[in-house]
Amino acid sequence: MPVLCSRCAERRAMLKRPKTGHSLCKECFFWAFEEEVHQTIRWGPASGGKDSTVLAHVMKLLNERYSYGLELMLLSVDEGITGYRDDSLETVKRNQQQYELPLKVVSYEELYGWTMDAIVKQVGLKNNCTFCGVFRRQALDRGAIMLKVDKICTGHNADDVAETVLMNILRGDIARLRRCTAISTASEGEGVVPRCKPLKYAYEKEIVLYAYFKRLDYFSTECIYSPNAYRGYARNFLKDLESIRPSVIIDIIHSGENLSVREGVKMPVQGTCSRCGYISSQALCKSCVLLEGLNRGLPKLGIGKHHRLHNKILAQQPFTEKEESKLKPVEF
Amino acid sequence: MAAPITIHLEFGGGAELLFSGVKKHHMTLPSQSQPWDMKQLLVWIQQNLLKERPELFVQGDSVRPGILVLINDADWELLGELDYQLQDKDNIVFISTLHGG
């Protein structure tokens, strides 16, 4: 016996919602999904993956349905990963035509003079995700400034946010734990464009089914360089929990949102990078230190804590032999 | 005896990588004394189609959490999951959500 939709009680239910346990037909599911995103938006980057593809589709649709008056654009980062990003950029270009939105692509090569392929050649597969993550964050800001946009919407979904809450708890990173559940970030300073996560309460399951039922065109290949192992563990743990208790993802986000940090807990003071002016809690921002390390052939400079070397870099003083030997690439 | 049935299998969202990159498979399941159910189909897929890293597809006697299953385009959670009895010409889709955002 087919199960009937619990909302319209007319059509056949096509999925069980993990968040609520409701059984819905396609039409009622589309409506519920879109309305919840609408509720999350209080006032775009595109990787070609499922999340940004669904985000672009839903933002365009809601912008028309509710006359937000937003001027939407697609922003994509080319990390310079042969066989991965070049393929997914093709998807982004198709999305651009399907949604008739302008597209801007910024590349690591033009911004930093290094592609991820070249970085991996120097640093190997151990800390490459650190470089990629730090560079992407800044690349999106720089791209957004070039486009003169007021806000960046990212495709982070409920599963991503719950993973991040867990990871920040496991690392004891109180400052990030406090920030990571915000739907929208306030402008943190010059060179940083406020971000928002319209899909923050949307389960990955629903995003994938939305894309599948709507036949949206997305790209699903794992990055060819080693995956972010730490996030991978958090993710598998969450997926196992979700199979026993589907509400766990929204529950963890709820926990994260309601944590309050006791007064007197030391937080890093946000300042600006003395070299590029980007936000930084150190003399030099992470991106400049990573880049300095790459250019000097000392890739470990930005990995781990070498804050006391920042002043030396800024004063252009040479490192001692002992300092250098710790920062050299590991031979493979 | 239940007669042999033909089914259409599809792997997507990156799950196809475990099946030599092939997304669509037309298969005939041999006749057996009991009707085929999803639990038996998963065992059959493992023995006959899965090419590599089975732990990325199955966990225990079900699919790995994070892989969505659709039976004739409907979420299998509405249809009894492992106990669903396969019908001739059923269309079963497995979509991995574990690949790239």
Nearest to A33 by CA among A13, A62, A63: A62
Asked if pLDDT for residue A43 goes beyond 50, the answer is: no
| Contact check, Cβ <8 Å, A212/B95 | yes
**B47 to chain A, closest Cα gap in Å:** 24
Q: Are the C-beta atoms of residues B13 and A50 closer than 8 Å to each other?
A: yes
Q: Are the C-beta atoms of residues A221 and B100 closer than 8 Å to each other?
A: yes
Asked if pLDDT for residue B78 goes beyond 60, the answer is: yes
Architecture of domain B5-96: Roll (3.10)
The pLDDT tens digits of the residues spanning A301-323 come to 877 777 778 877 777 778 888 88
For residue B85, list chain A residues with Cβ-Cβ distance below 8 A: none
The predicted pLDDT at position A176 comes to 85
Q: Within a 13 Å sphere around the CA of A112, how many CA atoms are in the beta-carbon half?
A: 30
Asked if pLDDT for residue A264 goes beyond 80, the answer is: yes
What single string gives the DSSP state of each residue in A74-102? EEEEE---TTTHHHHHHHHHHHHHHHT--
Q: At what angle do helices A50-65 and A85-99 cross, to 10 degrees?
A: 10
The pLDDT tens digits of the residues spanning A122-165 come to 888 888 888 998 999 899 999 988 888 888 999 999 999 999 99
How distant, in Å, are the alpha carbons of A50, A136, A175, A203, A291 from that of A232? Answer: 18, 19, 22, 17, 26
Beta bridge partners of A162: none
The predicted pLDDT at position B26 comes to 96
Chain B positions contacting chain A at CB under 8 Å are 12-14, 17, 64-66, 68, 70, 73-75, 77-79, 93, 95-101
Residue A42 or residue A330, greater confidence: A330
Q: Specify the 3-state DSSP secondary structure of A17.
A: coil
What single string gives the DSSP state of each residue in A174-229? HHHHHHTT-SBPPP-STT---EE-TTTT--HHHHHHHHHHTT--------SSPP-H
CB contacts < 8 Å between A and B, how many?
Answer: 76
Mean pLDDT, to the nearest integer, of A212-233?
Answer: 80
Positive/negative CA dihedral, B33, B39, B42, B46: negative
Asked if pLDDT for residue A331 goes beyond 60, the answer is: no
Please give the domain boundaries of chain A with CATH numbers for all domains.
Answer: 15-155+197-228 (3.40.50.620), 271-325 (no CATH)
Per-residue tokens: A59? 């933002």
The reply to whether A136 touches chain B by the CB within 8 Å rule is: no
| Contact check, Cβ <8 Å, A16/B75 | yes
Q: Specify the 3-state DSSP secondary structure of A39.
A: helix
Q: At what angle do helices A204-213 and A26-40 cross, to 10 degrees?
A: 130
Mean pLDDT, to the nearest integer, of A100-118?
Answer: 93
- Which residues, other chains included, contact A62 with Cβ-Cβ below 8 Å and sequence gap of 6+? A34, A37, A38, A41, A68
How distant, in Å, are the alpha carbons of A209, A246, A297, A320, A324 from that of A327? Answer: 46, 45, 9, 11, 5
Nearest to A170 by CA among A127, A266, A234, A262: A234
Q: Percentage of chain A surpassing pLDDT 70?
A: 94
Q: Within a 13 Å sphere around the CA of B76, how many CA atoms are in the beta-carbon half?
A: 22
- Confidence category of residue A34, pLDDT binned at 50, 70, 90: very high
Residue A240 or residue A38, greater confidence: A240
In whole angstroms, give the CA distance from residue B95 to residue B81. Answer: 15
- Confidence category of residue A44, pLDDT binned at 50, 70, 90: low
The full set of domain ranges for chain B reads 5-96
- Which residues, other chains included, contact B52 with Cβ-Cβ below 8 Å and sequence gap of 6+? B18
In whole angstroms, give the CA distance from residue A250 to residue B56. Answer: 25
Q: At what angle do helices A204-213 and A50-65 cross, to 10 degrees?
A: 70
Per-residue tokens: A281? 């809690």
Q: How far is CA A71 from the centre of its chain?
A: 22
Q: Percentage of chain A surpassing pLDDT 90?
A: 41
Using CA coordinates, name the residue in chain A closest to B62.
Answer: A243
Asked if pLDDT for residue B100 goes beyond 50, the answer is: yes
Nearest to A204 by CA among B9, B76, B11, B67: B67
User: How many other C-beta atoms can be found within 10 angstroms of the C-beta atom of residue A194?
Assistant: 15
